[in-house]
Every structure is written in C-alpha cells, then in structure tokens.
Amino acid sequence: SRVIGALAYGAGYEAMSWTQTALEVVEVCKPCIKWDCEGRTYAMDCYLKLLVRLCHIYDTRGGVKKVKDGASQEQILNETRLQKLQRELVKDLSEVATSRLLARLIWALAEHFDLAGLDPLLADDPEDPLNIIV
C-alpha cells in the first residue's frame, strides 16, 4: 500500500517519468479490487487515486490520441493499455468485495468513458461498459 500511495502522490503532480511505472502497478494490482480488506481500505483508496490520476494525465475520455495530434508512440501505447484496463475493471465490477469500493470504482471510471463514442446500437449489449455499470 505504501508503494501505491507513493506512486499516487508522484502521479498527482503529473510526474510524467512516473506514469509508465504507475501504469504497470495499476495493471499488476488490478486483482486487489476483489479483496475484502475488513475496513482497511488505504491500499484500495491509493489504487483508485492512482487510476484516476493516470486517467487525467492521459485524458482517456477523449479517446486515444494520434501521432498527428502530437502524441508519441509511447503515449499512444500507454493510453491504449489504460483504456484496456478500464474495460477490464468494468467487467470485474460484479466481483468487487465491498459496496464502498464498488461505488468508488464506478466513480473513478465513469468520468473517463468516451460517452460520445458510444454506439446506440449497443444499447442492449451486455458487454457494453455503460450497460455493465447501469
């Protein structure tokens, strides 16, 4: 939990040199959302803060940027990885251990979905991220 907390703190100041490491930690620690920590939620809170800060740094709501928009190949790769992680976390919502963590996770993810990119034809699709949250 201290490592995640330190990364969340560093990523909070948009230390771009930390984002690669932070993204790797968020990917590796993804299963922790399923743990029941009996009220000890510091690590979970730090995990969600780190996830939200990465989402803000990469601004995933607008979709993955392109080279023509000035994005580097590394940034494109990291944004793609982060969006994949967001979709995986949505699919894991039913397995989240506590209602408090579930609410915080939905809050953390919902702000960063590309709502403009949703296909109205997917309104009944059980795999659509918005349908899963609803």
Q: Note the pTM of the prediction, 2 decimals.
A: 0.70
pLDDT, tens digit (0-9, with 9 covering 90-100), for 4-30: 666 666 655 555 566 777 788 778 877
Nearest Cα neighbor of 21 from 62, 93, 86, 74 is 74
- The span from the CA of 79 to the CA of 90, in Å, is 17
**Domain spans of the chain, in order of start:** 2-133
pLDDT, tens digit (0-9, with 9 covering 90-100), for 44-68: 777 777 787 777 777 655 566 666 6
Contacts of residue 43, Cβ cutoff 8 Å, sequence gap at least 6: 1, 4, 5, 32, 37
Nearest Cα neighbor of 50 from 77, 70, 24, 74 is 24
Full DSSP string of 16-74: HHHHHHHHHHHHHTGGGGG---TT--HHHHHHHHHHHHHHHHHTGGG----GGGT--HH
Nearest Cα neighbor of 101 from 41, 49, 53 is 41
Residue for token pair 């976390």: 89
pLDDT, tens digit (0-9, with 9 covering 90-100), for 70-110: 777 877 888 888 888 888 888 888 888 778 788 888 887 77
